């Protein structure tokens, strides 16, 4: 379960950096894509990392079913970042 916890922490760290980039981008880009990216990264962090943290701490493996939803939110966030950068 320590490896599961570490995976959650790693993805949270990467996407915290992505959120900093999105904040920087929000001052330079127009449109809603940058806002979608920010919220998708927040949702992804809560769902992906949060479910892994809870699973590691409680041992309830059914929480792993929530994790892919967070992964999808991360993917939506990255697509939105690309759209925001491309204008």
Radius of gyration of the chain (CA): 14
Q: Are 45 and 15 in contact (CB under 8 A)?
A: yes
Name residue, tokens 């001052």: 27
What is the predicted pLDDT for the residue at 71? Answer: 98
What is the predicted pLDDT for the residue at 81? Answer: 97
pLDDT per position as a tens digit, 12-38: 999 999 999 999 999 998 889 999 999
Mean pLDDT of the chain: 96
What is the C-alpha separation between 42 and 80, in angstroms, rounded?
13
- SS (HEC) of 4-40: HHHHHHHHHHHHHHHHHHHHHHHCCCCCCHHHHHHHH
Q: Are 1 and 55 in contact (CB under 8 A)?
A: yes
pLDDT bracket for residue 87 (50, 70, 90):
confident
């Amino acid at each position: 379960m320590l490896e599961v916890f570490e995976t959650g922490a790693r993805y949270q760290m990467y996407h915290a950096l992505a959120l900093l980039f999105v904040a920087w981008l929000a001052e330079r880009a127009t449109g809603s894509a940058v806002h979608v990216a920010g919220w998708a990264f927040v949702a992804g962090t809560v769902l992906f990392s949060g479910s892994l943290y809870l699973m590691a701490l409680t041992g309830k493996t059914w929480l792993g079913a929530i994790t892919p939803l967070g992964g999808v939110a991360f993917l939506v966030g990255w697509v939105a970042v690309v759209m925001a950068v491309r204008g």
